Each structure stands twice: as structure tokens, then as C-alpha cells.
Amino acid sequence: MAVTLGSIIPSLRISDKINKITNSLSRSMQRLSGDSKIENALDDAVNALISKKLDKNIKASDEVMENIQSANSLLNVAESSLDSISDQLSRINELLTSMANGANDIDAQSASAQEILERLSEIDRLASSANFNGKYLLNGTVEEMTIQIGTDTTQDSILDIQSALINAYTSALGLDIELPDELNPNAFETQGGDIVYKKENGKYCKKDGTEVIVADPAGLTPLFDPINPNCQKYLSKIQATIDKLSLSKGKIGSYENRLQSSYDSLSDLSVNLQDDYSNRANADIATESTNYIQQQILEQLNVSLLTQSNELGQLALTLLA
């Protein structure tokens, strides 16, 4: 090869190649350090766009799955409270059946009636206290309870579970917190024909709670008369309420099954999306390590060649001297 001043051209070409190798080394180090095959759109414009969409869908699926888990927890709270209320009603059903037994004395029947009153009060307490994250579930205030169970905006991705969250107060269930007078051991008729009720403190009041003075308590006529027809009348209400709660719990079960089905479907979708995202966006450590070592070898080789090429230029200067 002739020794000319143009001999520097090979050096420039090798230098350009070294710059490209250095850039390639830098990208390999970025991929290895960040476990990402696509650091920016320059690496792969198509897969960069697809990866962004996949990442968005993965996050949306995970968020919906959290929604479903919260909804399941809410339904579990409602179901547990309804179970407790059903237990109270079942016991009241037993007590009414016992009261209808004419072989029991008046004291036993009166004790059963008092327990029924306490259990009716407990039903109201359960209805007022069932709540999830500050939302009361069984007090009749739930007008809408929609759950997002899909990642799109169609109606099929929304589930309204409000119909399972009934008003469980005794008044809403068709049961009075106070027993009928004939089943209330604290109900009396005065000589003037008025109905009064004996309170825990021994005083008397009207049905609206207004206290009255009874001059001669011995002259009061007890209205408590738990004969079979009277018990049966209230017993039918209790049994109808038990059936109503069973229907509500059946709805809860159907909603829980649908939520679980949606959760399983989303879980499978999320796994598949993550697998696709990983194939497109995550760095193959083995491949990147091999490329990194290969680029290092090429860099060292070209640096050596550049040194030799530069010596040709020095040779031209020597001849001029």
C-alpha cells in the first residue's frame, strides 16, 4: 500500500467503527442493568409500542382483581351478619314453638317471650352494625353497589350486588321489635280498657313510650296469652323472614361465584399478558451477556488496529522529515 497523507482514512474508519461498538456496549450494559430489552423506541419501535399497551392492560387487570377481592370481602361480611340474624330467628322459632305448648306453665312461657324480645333487639343491632370500610350493608341505606369486574367499559364488566344487601331491621323484615300484646308478658289492660306496658324499672307506659301512673297494679289484667293460634300467627312471620334471608344469602352465593369466575379469568389473562410482555420487553441475560463480551472483544481488536493504522500516518511524516 502506498504511503500517502490519505493513509489516515483507515484510522477514521476504524475510529467510526469503535464509536459504534462503544454505543452498542453502552446499550448492552443498560439492558443488563435494567433487565429491559427496550430502553427506548430506538431499540425496537414496534415492540416498544406493544409493550406499553401490554403494561397498561396488566396493571388494569391487577386493579380489577383487587376490586373483586374487596367485593368478595364485602359479601362475606354481609353473609356472616345474615347468618347471625338467621340464628336469632331460628332460636325465636324454637321459643315460639315451645310457647305454643300448653303443658308449659306461665312462668316458662313468660321467660321464652322475654328471650324473644332480647333476640329481636339483637337482630336490629346486627343490622345496624354490619359495615365494610364504613359502608353499612344491612340497614337499608345501600341504593347501589356496583363492582368493576372487567377491564373494558361495557355493561358486562359491571356487576351490581345491591339486591343481596337487604334491609335487615326487624321493621323492614315485617317483624315488630315489640311482640304482639298476646305474646308480650309485659302487656296489661287497665280497668278503664287502656293498654299499658311494664318497663324494666317497674313503671308503666303506653305503646308510644309515654309513662302513665297505675294507681292499682293489682287491678291490671295480663294480656299475655300464648295459646297456639297466637303463637302460630307470629311463627308464620318468623318462618317467612327466615325464607327471605335464605333468598338473600342465595344471591350472595351467586355473586360470589361470578366474582370468583371473573377473578380466575383475569388471573389467567394477567399471566398471559405478563408472559408476552416479558418476551417483548425483558432482556435475555444470556444473549445480552454474550453480545456484551463479543462487543468488548471487537472493541479491543479495533483499538489495536487503530493504533497500527495511526503508525502509517506517522511513517508519512517521518519520510517528509
pLDDT means per 10 residues in the chain (321 residues)?
57 72 68 58 63 82 91 94 95 86 72 87 94 92 87 82 92 79 84 86 86 88 74 83 93 93 89 75 62 72 69 62 56
Residue 33's pLDDT is what?
A: 61
Burial annotation 211-240 (CB, 10 A radius, 16+ → b, else e): eeebeeeeebebbbebeeebbeebbebbee
Whole-number Å distance between alpha carbons of 56 and 60? 6
Whole-number Å distance between alpha carbons of 255 and 246? 14
Residue 78's pLDDT is what?
A: 95
Residue 243's pLDDT is what?
A: 92
pTM, full prediction: 0.65
Whole-number Å distance between alpha carbons of 139 and 162? 12
Residue 80's pLDDT is what?
A: 95
Whole-number Å distance between alpha carbons of 299 and 22? 7
Neighbouring CB atoms inside 10 A of 88's CB total 20
Strand 131-132 to 135-136 pairing: antiparallel
Whole-number Å distance between alpha carbons of 146 and 144? 6
82 within 8 A of 250, measured Cβ to Cβ: no
Residue 89's pLDDT is what?
A: 94
